[in-house]
């Protein structure tokens, strides 16, 4: 689910950097406040372990394919949301810098999609309330606690992966990169990630139950640590999750309607229904033929470089097309020359 | 070679590349880092149909690859990670955007094909730029530059520590995976009955190791931050070079240099 640089516009990439940066700054301040500098090596080693663990293939029974570990949920269950989030940032940064897994500009978006949801949403809305509840039995009941770990892991991975996949679709659409309609893109991404989330949830649950059996004190909100209690009851959590689901689901069904341009429909309503039920915008002022659009297009024309292209049935631009193609050939020749010169000088140096 | 061994090899390759001696390697990471960001931002800001304008941007990374003695082929090999999602998104552009944008002879080229190629190019150029930064700086100098740019010490220290332990943990995971596959040669991955115990054991050992690391760090006088060595201080000349290059990127963004070059001969 790693986003690439090419899928984001500079504005969306910068926005996601600000969002992830704010969450990171808050996590750092929480860590400093709790004076948890001693957690640094644990965070680093856990992040390294997740990095290595994500490269191990786990066979999915009955299928020929394999699944991987869900890092965000595992780290937040082990280290808590703040330390877990920072550890996930380092995992994603190393993947980005050394393996080109996600781009440098897309790092902010990747941190948000994979670390923020996994560590904050997964911990505060799923792990903590479920582990603090008396679901499946009493709090000190060993089997009930195991079941709670399994449920929280699976639910956490499924929900956070769905949110992450939805964000990928939203960020790409807002960047105006893909021609693929929002509804079709979401319809492709979400079901795939539902299956992936389920498998990742099972793997994470298996690892966390093993840790619970061997060293329960390592897990957050388990045993003695859980006695502090959750600020949010399970019922409240389910309500919050239901509201989020309705909002996301509602938004999706809106976009997934038969209307080919869901975003425009959402903004301007439709002609039959009038503009009374829309978001308060009317097409005359904000639509394609509005004054705002004309001003925007005037600005675009002065800054746009597209007119250099030759459009169909536009003979005056034919010359520009030729110069564009010829220029491309010159650039390609220059690129080859640079490579050849590099090779020549290196040979000379080694000779 | 399994996936983990391959990752370890790539780590070592990057470290070896960063230790080379060239003008690109000597150029301070403090200037290289913002310059890389400006380059990628410039590349991303090109319009989806501005294929010829974008094409000229390939010359910058290529020039520095050659100047730094870094293999372009090895860099492009990394595309296997980044290209699938870009391909998945871009490959559908020709289906949805069929408006004819360009005509070469009798061949009509739709906007979808142009935007798909632009998307691919953006992906490749961005990758080349970030690869160049890491291959010519290494993690140490990048972290030192991040500290100079006031990125919080906790995050930078964590990045350095994680980088150090990624290889250690990956080696351990590789040994465990090899041992498992030697005992179960016909199995593709780890069987579900061992899902928990396999990584769980590695995790428990990691936690014990972390305690030992913390004690060792304190015994060596760790008091909240690392001292970085090896980073070349950025001189006025370096900053001026950086500003000049950034200016060139912006120039290429504002004027279609490819078309300008071509118009010289038309």
- The CA distance from B68 to the nearest CA of chain A, in Å, is 9
Give pLDDT tens digits for A151-200.
999 999 999 999 999 999 999 889 887 777 888 888 888 888 888 888 88
Assess whether pLDDT exceeds 50 at residue A309: no
pLDDT of residue A254: 44
Please, are residues A325 and B49 in contact by the beta-carbon 8 Å criterion? no
Q: What average pLDDT score do residues A320-343 get?
A: 74
Interchain CB distance below 8 Å, A45 and B104 = no
**Which pLDDT band holds residue A117 (cuts at 50, 70, 90)?**
very high
**Which pLDDT band holds residue A333 (cuts at 50, 70, 90)?**
confident
**Which pLDDT band holds residue A349 (cuts at 50, 70, 90)?**
low
pLDDT of residue B8: 86
A5-341 topology per CATH? Arp2/3 complex 21 kDa subunit ARPC3 (1.10.1760)
Q: Is B257 on the interface with A (CB under 8 A)?
A: yes
Q: Which token pair is A135?
A: 């679901």
Q: What are phi and psi of B100, to 5 degrees?
A: -75, 125
Assess whether pLDDT exceeds 70 at residue A201: yes
Contacts of B200 in chain A (CB under 8 A): 206-207, 210-211, 214
Residues of chain B with pLDDT under 50: none
d(C-alpha A101, C-alpha B134), whole Å: 14
**Which pLDDT band holds residue A26 (cuts at 50, 70, 90)?**
very high
Q: Is B192 on the interface with A (CB under 8 A)?
A: yes
Q: What are phi and psi of A274, to 5 degrees?
A: 75, -175
Q: Nearest residue of B to residue A328 by CA position? A: B258
Give pLDDT tens digits for A61-116.
666 666 677 788 889 998 889 999 999 999 999 988 888 777 888 999 999 999 99
- Smallest CA-to-CA distance from B8 within A33, A55, A100, A216 is with A55
User: What residue segments make up the domains of chain B, in order of their start?
Assistant: 1-138+233-260, 152-229
Cα separation values, A142 from A145, A213, A288, B43, Å: 5, 9, 63, 56
Please, are residues B166 and A48 in contact by the beta-carbon 8 Å criterion? yes
pLDDT of residue A261: 34
**Which pLDDT band holds residue A294 (cuts at 50, 70, 90)?**
low
- The CA distance from A118 to the nearest CA of chain B, in Å, is 19
Report which of residues A48 and B244 the model is more confident about: B244
Task: Report the percent of chain A where pLDDT is more than 70.
Answer: 65
Contacts of A193 in chain B (CB under 8 A): none
Q: What is the mean pLDDT of chain A?
A: 74
Q: What are phi and psi of B153, to 5 degrees?
A: -60, -35
Task: Report the percent of chain A where pLDDT is more than 90.
Answer: 19
d(C-alpha A84, C-alpha A44), whole Å: 10
Interchain CB distance below 8 Å, B104 and A53 = no
CA-based R_g, chain B, Å: 23
Q: Is B209 on the interface with A (CB under 8 A)?
A: yes
Element (H, E) at B139: helix B111-148
User: What residue segments make up the domains of chain A, in order of their start?
Assistant: 5-341
Cα separation values, A43 from A113, A251, B168, Å: 20, 37, 15
């Amino acid at each position: 689910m790693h986003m690439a640089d090419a899928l984001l516009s500079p504005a969306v990439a910068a926005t996601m950097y600000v969002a992830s940066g704010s969450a990171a700054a808050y996590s750092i301040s929480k860590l400093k406040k709790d004076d948890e500098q001693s957690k640094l090596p644990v965070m680093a080693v856990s992040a390294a372990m997740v990095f290595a663990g994500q490269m191990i293939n786990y066979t999915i029974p009955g299928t020929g394919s394999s699944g991987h570990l869900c890092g965000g949920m595992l780290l937040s269950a082990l280290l808590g949301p703040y330390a877990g989030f920072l550890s996930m940032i380092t995992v994603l940064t190393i993947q980005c810098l050394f393996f080109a897994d996600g781009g440098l500009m897309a790092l902010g978006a990747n941190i948000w999609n994979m670390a923020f949801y996994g560590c904050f949403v997964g911990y505060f809305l799923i792990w903590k309330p479920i582990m603090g509840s008396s679901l499946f039995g009493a709090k000190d009941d060993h089997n009930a606690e195991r079941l709670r770990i399994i449920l929280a892991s699976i639910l956490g991975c499924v929900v956070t992966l769905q949110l992450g996949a939805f964000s990928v679709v939203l960020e790409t659409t807002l960047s105006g990169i893909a021609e693929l309609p929002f509804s079709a893109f979401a319809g492709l991404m979400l079901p795939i990630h539902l299956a992936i989330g389920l498998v990742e949830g099972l793997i994470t649950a298996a690892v966390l139950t093993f840790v619970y059996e061997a060293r329960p004190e390592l897990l957050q909100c388990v045993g003695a640590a859980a006695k502090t209690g959750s600020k949010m009851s399970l019922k409240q959590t389910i309500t919050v999750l239901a509201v989020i689901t309705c909002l996301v689901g509602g938004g999706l069904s809106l976009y997934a309607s038969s209307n080919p341009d869901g975003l425009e429909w959402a903004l301007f309503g439709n002609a039959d229904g009038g503009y009374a039920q829309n978001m308060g915008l009317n097409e005359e002022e904000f639509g394609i033929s509005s004054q705002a659009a004309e001003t925007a297009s005037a600005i675009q024309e002065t800054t746009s470089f597209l007119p250099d292209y030759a459009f169909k049935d536009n003979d005056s631009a034919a010359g520009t097309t030729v110069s564009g193609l010829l220029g491309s050939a010159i650039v390609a020749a220059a690129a080859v020359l640079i490579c050849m010169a590099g090779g020549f000088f290196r040979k000379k140096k080694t000779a | 070679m399994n996936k983990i061994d391959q990752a370890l090899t790539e780590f070592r390759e990057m470290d070896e590349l960063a230790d080379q001696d060239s003008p690109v390697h000597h150029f301070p990471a403090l200037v290289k880092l913002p310059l890389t960001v400006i380059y990628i931002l410039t590349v991303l800001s090109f319009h989806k149909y501005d294929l010829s304008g974008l094409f000229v941007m390939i010359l910058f990374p290529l020039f520095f690859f050659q100047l730094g003695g870094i293999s372009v082929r090895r860099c492009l090999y990394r595309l296997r990670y980044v290209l699938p999602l870009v391909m998945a998104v871009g490959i559908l552009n020709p289906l949805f955007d069929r408006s004819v944008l360009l005509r070469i002879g009798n061949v009509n080229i739709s906007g979808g094909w142009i935007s798909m190629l632009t998307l691919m190019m953006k992906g490749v150029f961005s990758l080349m730029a970030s690869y160049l930064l890491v291959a010519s700086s290494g993690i140490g100098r990048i972290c030192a530059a991040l500290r100079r740019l006031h990125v919080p010490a906790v995050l930078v220290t964590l990045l350095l520590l994680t980088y150090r332990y990624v290889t250690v943990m990956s080696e351990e995971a590789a040994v465990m995976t090899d041992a498992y596959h030697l005992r179960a040669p016909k199995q593709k991955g780890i069987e579900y009955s061992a899902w928990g115990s396999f990584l769980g054991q590695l995790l428990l050992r990691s936690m014990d190791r972390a305690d030992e690391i913390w004690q060792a760090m304190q015994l060596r006088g760790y008091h909240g931050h690392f001292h970085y060595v090896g980073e070349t201080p950025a001189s006025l000349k370096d900053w001026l070079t950086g500003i000049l290059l950034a200016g060139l990127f912006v120039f290429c963004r504002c004027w279609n240099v490819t078309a300008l070059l071509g118009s010289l001969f038309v």
